[in-house]
Structure 1
Amino acid sequence: MRTWRGKLVLWSLASMFAVALVFAGVTYANLRKSLLEEERRELDVRTEALVRVLRENPSLLRSLSSPRDEERRATEQAWEIRLRAFLYPDERLSLFGEGGAVLLHIEGDGEEGNVEGDDAPFANLTLYREFSSGGTTYVLRVDHPSTRLKTLTHLLLRSLLVGLVVAAAGSTAGALLLARAFLRPLHALLQTFRRVREADFSARAPVGAADDELAELARTFNAMMDAVEASVARERRFFADAAHELRTPLAAISGHAEFLRRWGDRDPERAKRSLEAIREETARLTRLVEGILTLGRLEDPDALLALEGSCWAEEVLLPLVEEYRLLYPHVEVSFSSADRSPCVSPAMARSLPQEPLPPHVFPLACESLRHLARILLDNAVKYGAKGGEGGKVVVGVFVAEDGAGFFVRDYGPGIPERDLPHVFERFYRGDPARRRGGYGLGLSIARAIVERTGGEIRLANLPDGGLCALVRWPSPA
């Protein structure tokens, strides 16, 4: 059978029938054994009663040992009438004297029973009892045919066979119902799969009322589809935002190019300004494309190979601090290896040593650390001034019980609390004051670098003003 319904029906029927067959076999064997033991006990009781009657009449026993004459025949008839009361119609009784001589033989009134050997399925029950009376030893033999046992066991066997047929029919019906109940949620899940195949990412599998494995499968699938739908929505929004951001510099370049085509030779000064604008827009466009490509590479599973490695933090951060001091002389950029500012939590601050720390090793390649630090420093320098030309930026490293990392803090206006949950989203630029030529890709790239190397990054406004960007990698297990 190719369908799961057919397989479930077949497997259920086979398993239920096998269980019923084993149960019937065990029941038949136990009941047959019980009937046989019961008949043996009952026969033993009647045989003991016969022995007791014979032992209580020694004179009659002696008369049975005399030569056959009228008196002995009368005695045999009297004993036969008396002893037949202890026998079933199909039983036989034999009394043997010394030397094995047959003194008395009584046949039951019924049909002759089974006389097969002891190894037959329904063999006779035969009991021997040896007793003494008047100094003479006698042997009593009682043959109990298995006719009654055979009748009862045949009746039991027929009943069990009928039960097996009923069990098979019930198993088939139960298997069909079980298959239908089991496959109904799977069919619903299959329909959901088909909708997803048709790019309907809003499709969700129905979750049954029963809290079983199928319900857990449906919940897991729905959670996966929630993530897929959110990812698809982010990708669509990303491409829409990218198209929007690309449109602005392309429109500017197109406008200036059209001006140069028409009037460039008539107004050299304006043509020069247009060429400079084209150069600036081209540079902006290049940065935007590079940011998009960087994000795309970081989402590639093979990107982790380029990020993996280890790097001495001070070898990257100290030269960067010196570089930014030269590039931005109006901003005070400093490095601290034991910063006590609110940039780190109190628990983290307590774990910082009093003296300068030795070099730290972070679990990523130096080029990736340099790229990450540049993004955070660019943001801090760009937005860290409280006004005018002044500003201050602090770069620091820290070690805590649960890991190590670095931070970059500024003393600027910070980020509105409503924007903090969204600052790592692509192209997000919530506060107009922070839209100074950027595209909203830097922090997205920073988060991708940190998370792909097993760390975490957080932004927080500080009580005394400014913003802190904190990067932490957990301690190795």
Structure 2
Amino acid sequence: MRTRLSIKWRVSLISIGTIAGITVLFTLFIYFSLSKWMMEQQDHAALTSTQHIALAYPGNIEQGSNNSNDKSQSWLSQFASKNQTFYIIGLNGKTIATLGNAFGVLPHSIGLTHAQKGTLTHVVERGHSFVRIILPSRSESGDTVAWVISYASTDVVQAYITALVRVLIFGSLLALILAGLSGYVMSFVALRPITDIIRRMHHMDAFSIKGRLPHDSGRDEIAELAKTFNEMLDRIRKTIEKQNEFIADASHEFRSPLTVIEGYTNLLDRWGKDDPAVTERSIGAIKKEAARLRRLTNGLLQLASLANVQLESTPCDAKRVVEEVVLQFSEVFQRNIAFECSDVSVMTEMQSEHLHQVTAILLQNAVKHTSEGQGISVRAVRQKSGLLLAVEDKGEGIDPEHLPHVFDRFYRSDRARSRSTEGFGLGLAIAKEIVGLYQGTIQVVSERGKGTVFSVTIPAR
């Protein structure tokens, strides 16, 4: 398994790599720039001195005299330089004068071909580097009277370049070391708040999340991280509280029918089985509570299954489905339920069984909280955004403090009447889950003593 480096080491290595790249590029730039400049200066100095000799030579030496060689040698001595050697070659190829022999006799009896006339080249002779220059020396009439060959040593320049390379290498290594140290120190300082966050997180678990990470009011990334983490802890805490409440409520709902079943079973076991009336009453109660357990179990299973349901794109006629549910409830509960739908058909992407169930849940809730004579109405309207389904009743209404919780699981606004209304507080929670599958919304508006309106909106796809 590959081991990942810590962020501090990664930041340090990135800093070293970045500085190394910049340093290499800068070093190469300095090396080539200075090397080129120094060699150009060397070439220019050598060329200037050679040109000066080539221009001045014809006017200072009387050509053709018997002692012209001696005069040439004497005249040439004024240009003496320890790093440069000069040769004046006659047209016949013989050496007229020589100046400077620090490097020994250098090749000067070369064949002066057309390609070599007036050239500047870099050569290596006797283990030394030179700039070799060949220039013609002309008379006032423009005739070539001699050739000037000079060798200018570049050893000093090469020594400077070698020293420059050493300095650049040393400076680069020093820069890399400083970059690594500074990168590690900066990463340590920058990541210290994160280290503190990790340390605090190690002391938290799913059952002990009351602690919060400290953060200032700044807008830097560390403060945002701590703030986001605290918000996540708040959401987890609320989820755990809801889960604990759900478990407690579910346990209570299961305990009630089980207690009744156990009580009647003990009654039958002790003496009730000898009394037909007690036996009949006990069996009826046990069957009733078993049915309650079955409904409760089915509701919980449905809530769990909705999280993994696969939606199918099967549009249905909302008017037909809702009207069918309204007719069923009107006949079963003997209620006058008004249905309003101005369109011939209202198509929706919600599956028909889901629309049927949501409508039935809302109508069952309306019937449960209204008495005979109190009106119930249902509207199915096609809007630009999708389907609007509204169920309104003129019943007892819901107190304002209960409205935010009506869609919570096992929540009932009047727990004292829970047994008489035969409810578990799961219907509206199931309706909300189903509507959420289609990215829809379900809302409630109610006023105590005046009634309640549940509105469902299913967006068009």
Q: Which TM bucket (shorter chain)? A: 0.7 to 0.9
Q: CA deviation at 1:357?
A: 0.5
Query: Is the CA contact 2:435–2:441 (under 8 Å) kept in the aligned structure 1?
Result: yes
- Name the counterpart of 2:30: 27
How many residue pairs were aligned?
A: 439
**Among 267, 272, 276, the residue aligned to 1:259:** 267
Distance 1:54 1:408 in 2: 119
Q: CA deviation at 1:269?
A: 4.2
| TM-score when normalising by structure 1 | 0.79
- Name the counterpart of 2:62: 62
**Among 382, 403, 408, the residue aligned to 1:425:** 408
The residue matched to 1:413 in structure 2 has which SS?
A: coil
Distance 1:122 1:412 in 2: 113
Distance 1:333 1:236, change over 3 A: same
Distance 1:332 1:420 in 2: 26
- Name the counterpart of 1:351: none
**Among 63, 75, 86, the residue aligned to 1:79:** 75
**Among 118, 122, 128, the residue aligned to 1:118:** 122
- 178-187 or 456-465, which deviates more: 178-187
Q: CA deviation at 1:209?
A: 9.0
| TM-score when normalising by structure 2 | 0.82
Query: Is the CA contact 2:375–2:393 (under 8 Å) kept in the aligned structure 1?
Result: yes
- Name the counterpart of 1:440: 425
Does structure 1 residue 378 correspond to structure 2 residue 361? no
Distance 1:314 1:433, change over 3 A: farther
Distance 1:205 1:47 in 2: 80
Does structure 1 residue 398 correspond to structure 2 residue 381? yes
- 2-11 or 439-448, which deviates more: 2-11
Q: Structure 1 vs Structure 2: percent identity of aligned residues? A: 27
Distance 2:128 2:388 in 1: 89
Amino acid of the structure 2 residue aligned with 1:94: Y
Distance 1:112 1:208, change over 3 A: farther
Distance 1:114 1:103 in 2: 15
Q: How does 1:174-185 map to 2 (within 5 A)?
A: 174-177=182-185, 180=188
Distance 1:8 1:204, change over 3 A: same
Listed one character per residue, the Cα deviations across residues 359-399 of structure 1 (whole Å, up to 9, x for unaligned) are: 222223222221111110001111134xxx31111111112
Amino acid of the structure 1 residue aligned with 2:432: R
The residue matched to 2:400 in structure 1 has which SS?
A: coil
**Among 285, 304, 327, the residue aligned to 1:322:** 327
Distance 1:22 1:207, change over 3 A: farther
The residue matched to 2:62 in structure 1 has which SS?
A: helix
- Name the counterpart of 2:180: 172
- Name the counterpart of 1:452: 437
Distance 2:169 2:55 in 1: 44
Amino acid of the structure 2 residue aligned with 1:38: Q
Q: CA deviation at 1:238?
A: 0.8
Q: How does 1:133-282 map to 2 (within 5 A)?
A: 133-135=139-141, 136-137=143-144, 138-177=146-185, 180=188, 200=208, 223-264=231-272, 268-282=276-290
Query: Is the CA contact 1:9–1:172 (under 8 Å) kept in the aligned structure 2?
Result: yes
The residue matched to 2:397 in structure 1 has which SS?
A: coil
Distance 1:432 1:72 in 2: 133
**Among 260, 274, 285, the residue aligned to 2:293:** 285
Distance 1:124 1:407, change over 3 A: same
Q: CA deviation at 1:270?
A: 5.0
When the two chains are superposed, the root-mean-square deviation of aligned CA atoms in Å is 3.6
Distance 2:34 2:259 in 1: 97
Listed one character per residue, the Cα deviations across residues 33-87 of structure 1 (whole Å, up to 9, x for unaligned) are: 11112222333333444344335xx2x3224x433x4x752x2353134333xxx
Listed one character per residue, the Cα deviations across residues 116-149 of structure 1 (whole Å, up to 9, x for unaligned) are: x836698422333334224441333332110221
Does structure 1 residue 132 correspond to structure 2 residue 138? yes
- Name the counterpart of 1:313: 318
Amino acid of the structure 2 residue aligned with 1:410: D
Query: Is the CA contact 1:395–1:407 (under 8 Å) kept in the aligned structure 2?
Result: yes
- Name the counterpart of 1:4: 5
Distance 2:185 2:349 in 1: 57
Query: Is the CA contact 2:318–2:346 (under 8 Å) kept in the aligned structure 1?
Result: yes
Distance 1:14 1:413 in 2: 74
Distance 1:106 1:114 in 2: 11
Distance 1:411 1:359 in 2: 27
- 118-127 or 145-154, which deviates more: 118-127
Distance 1:398 1:130 in 2: 107
Listed one character per residue, the Cα deviations across residues 203-243 of structure 1 (whole Å, up to 9, x for unaligned) are: 77777999677776666665555444433332222111101
Amino acid of the structure 1 residue aligned with 2:139: S
Distance 1:199 1:464 in 2: 42
Distance 1:361 1:195, change over 3 A: farther
Distance 1:297 1:203, change over 3 A: farther
Structure 2 gaps of 5+ residues are 108-120
Q: How does 1:329-340 map to 2 (within 5 A)?
A: 329=334, 331-337=335-341
